[in-house]
Structure 1
Amino acid sequence: MNDAGEFKKLTPHFAGECFPVSGAIGAEDITILKNGIAIVSCDDRRKTLNGTPVQGTIYAYDLKQEVPQLIDLTAGVKFEFHPHGISVFENENSEVRLAAVNHTQTKNSIEIFDLKNNVLIHDKTILDPLLVSPNDLVMIDNNMLYVTNDHSVSTQKGKMLEDFLQLSRSNVLFYNGQNFAVAATNLGYANGINVSRDGTTLYIAETVGNRLSIFSRNTSTNELLFKQSIDFKSGIDNIEIDVAGNLWIGSHPKLLTFARHAKNGEKLSPSQVFKVSPVADNTYAVDEIYLDSGDGLSASSVAAVYNNTMLIGPVFDEYFLQCDFNNRF
């Protein structure tokens, strides 16, 4: 119970103002392009859990606009689509390629798209037996990526057992454009993943482990070497990195409460956002930026920042938050 954070006292705070952006159900992952356009991965997970799944959506949300609007980028997707973690790669010509973890009723896959004229054009589907429980991913270039498996098994019973026993059996895979290989192992629910702007450091959020694991990445061989971990005493989720290299992490401070919220939307789950700033070699400053009891937003899974604006996405809620800081970061 202590590991799950159930007895911790929460004091909600945020130095700014937030308002809900409706129309995006289950905005579990959000990433922001260099031009200020947020890409929002949405899926109505409650309907899926209830056996009545509906097609998921990836939206664009332009933060440069005075009144941003949600634009459906996947209206033309004809195959079953339930996006989870997403990642983008922008080349020197500002061309955007997007990868999305997809969970259908029968398989897990990674879907690759090219973003052109507010449309995600599907390029290919990546399937592999090693994708047992993919969660999040990070693109290294147009073809290569790392992806987390949050469990070592695909069955619901096996996943529940790993969670209950807090087993560190999940892993990270590397995809070289043709094949997958295991890149990191023995992780406690490998969840969010991202890479430093220079490509030399890989960050992995271990939700059940309550820690951020930091690996050095060989940019020639793509091999990972564990460096250190940071204890959060919270179930950290997705990781976004701003233009200054700071990490922004959505988190679940009470994991058992989150589990109850997953079963019943009327039971609120707290939301939390951390900012992690590299300050020197192997040294990081950790600040709690946002904390809410679940009234403003339940079960935050991601936070992404552009200029003075932060977007916070949830696992289940029917809206995400747009928050403006009182003081610019």
Structure 2
Amino acid sequence: MSPLQRRLLIGFGLVLAVASIFTWRFLAAMGYFTAIKQEVAAQCAVVPSPPGPEDIQVDRDAHQAFVAASDRRALMAGNKAARGGVYVIDLSAPVAEWQLHPVTAAEPADFHPHGLSLYKGADGSRRLFVVNHRSDGVESVDIFDVAGDGMLTLVRSVTDPLLVSPNDVVAVGPESFYATNDHGTANKTEGMLEDFMLSRSADFVYYDGSKMSIAGDRLLFPNGINVSKDGKTIYVAESLGLSLHLYDRNIATGELTPRDYTPMGTGLDNIDVAEDGSLLIAAHPKMTAFLAHARDASDLSPSQVIRVELAKEGEGGRAGTIYLNLGQQISGATVAAGYGDLMLIGNAFDPNILVCQQSRKIRAY
């Protein structure tokens, strides 16, 4: 073997080794090697819905649940005319009678909702903030007035160059919000490369009603975002980073200071804040299965719900699984919204919502 051939062989071996390391890191973060030894069952009922009820926001005072739904498989197939919608469930009715009633405003006509958040003013007024992936490529957060029956009226659509790949939103004022960018780019190919490299190039933004700024950065697929009941803490869930981040919030300025983060070992999605301040987080223990389910409904994707009881002064917090299913009941759960002893579990693709008894028993995963 000549010296040139030897150098080429060594170079090829090094490239192969580096590629193998990155592939292993990516597959590990995606849950490819995760083994689910035992399901955590719950007593559940199915509520039919339009395809893809990805996010759910419960108004516990009004006994209503707002649902953002979009037929993502139709959109992936190129049907950009498949307009999504927002729906409301009357939670005061018996569970067997729960139905999704459309409350979507006529505007914007180009409407493909993702995450949503409800803001309630001191005067009792309500506004719904909805991430909208417009078919022309423009990303926006649309703000709606909410009538007593849940019907929506568009107030304004917020767009900004910093809103590059919005996933979820949390409202903190009548026109102010935080929103996650799950990638640092709007380019899908570049976004896939970010994922593969596990690049911490994503962020989340703050809009104060007039201007937008970066609120937090160096995140790995930030997904769900929410705020504590007192408005002083922002929670951000990382899907590929497999962690929950906590930020102290200056209510007057909106500025955030990183406080802590907790590795969860599973792909976190949307966050719900319960009446007692605890968190319900839907999660994907095997995100490789979630991608397969996106392409083919017959490929099941495990669904998990985590309960997080946050640390109190002088005490430690705890977290664990309260629901875990291999995908037969619901595939690719994206949100678990609590309502009393129940939780409403939504998903990204299929035409159903699961309503389950909410266990208070936390199990190790």
TM-score range, shorter chain: over 0.9
CA distance in 2, matches of 1:269, 1:216: 34
Aligned runs of 1:36-75 on 2, under 5 Å? 36-53=63-80, 54-66=82-94, 67-74=97-104
Give per-residue Cα distances to partners, 1:152-177, cap 9 Å, x unaligned.
Answer: 10011011101111111110100010
Partner of residue 165, structure 2 = 133
Partner of residue 289, structure 1 = 322
Deviation at 1:222, TM superposition (A): 1.1
SS at match of 2:224: strand
2:48 to 22, 43, 52: 22
Residues 50/226 of structure 1: CA separation in 2 closer, same or farther (3 Å cut): same
- The amino acid of 1:44's aligned partner reads D
Residue 7 of structure 1 pairs with residue 38 of structure 2: no
Give per-residue Cα distances to partners, 1:95-134, cap 9 Å, x unaligned.
Answer: 2101100001111111110011331011111111111100
Partner of residue 128, structure 2 = 98
Partner of residue 254, structure 1 = 286
SS at match of 2:292: helix
Residues 285/266 of structure 1: CA separation in 2 closer, same or farther (3 Å cut): same
CA distance in 1, matches of 2:69, 2:143: 16
CA distance in 2, matches of 1:189, 1:90: 28
1:203 to 232, 235, 239: 235
- The structure with higher relative contact order (CA 8 Å, sep 6+) is 1
Structure 1 unmatched ranges of 5 or more: none
SS at match of 1:279: coil
SS at match of 2:183: coil
User: Hey, which of these two has a bigger chunk of helix by percent?
Assistant: 2
**TM-score computed with the length of structure 2 as normaliser:** 0.87
Residues 325/238 of structure 1: CA separation in 2 closer, same or farther (3 Å cut): closer
SS at match of 1:131: coil
Contact 2:285/2:303, CA 8 A, preserved across alignment: yes
Structure 1 or 2, whichever has the larger Rg, is: 2
Give per-residue Cα distances to partners, 1:155-208, cap 9 Å, x unaligned.
Answer: 110111011111111101000101100110100111100011011111000111
Partner of residue 144, structure 2 = 113
Residue 317 of structure 1 pairs with residue 365 of structure 2: no
CA RMSD of aligned residues (A): 1.6
Percent of counterpart pairs with the same letter?
36
Residues 326/221 of structure 1: CA separation in 2 closer, same or farther (3 Å cut): closer
Partner of residue 226, structure 2 = 194
Contact 2:302/2:327, CA 8 A, preserved across alignment: yes
CA distance in 1, matches of 2:325, 2:217: 33
2:154 to 113, 122, 125: 122
Partner of residue 57, structure 2 = 31
Contact 2:322/2:359, CA 8 A, preserved across alignment: no
CA distance in 2, matches of 1:158, 1:7: 25
Partner of residue 19, structure 2 = none
SS at match of 1:158: helix
- Which region of structure 1 is more displaced relative to structure 2, 216-225 or 295-304? 216-225
Deviation at 1:75, TM superposition (A): 5.4
SS at match of 1:243: coil
Partner of residue 182, structure 2 = 150
- The amino acid of 1:113's aligned partner reads F
Structure 2 unmatched ranges of 5 or more: 1-26
Give per-residue Cα distances to partners, 1:214-267, cap 9 Å, x unaligned.
Answer: 111111221111111111110000001011111110100011111222222221
User: Hey, which of these two has a bigger chunk of strand by percent?
Assistant: 1
CA distance in 1, matches of 2:346, 2:226: 17
CA distance in 2, matches of 1:255, 1:235: 7
Residue 300 of structure 1 pairs with residue 333 of structure 2: yes
- The amino acid of 1:92's aligned partner reads A
Contact 1:270/1:299, CA 8 A, preserved across alignment: yes
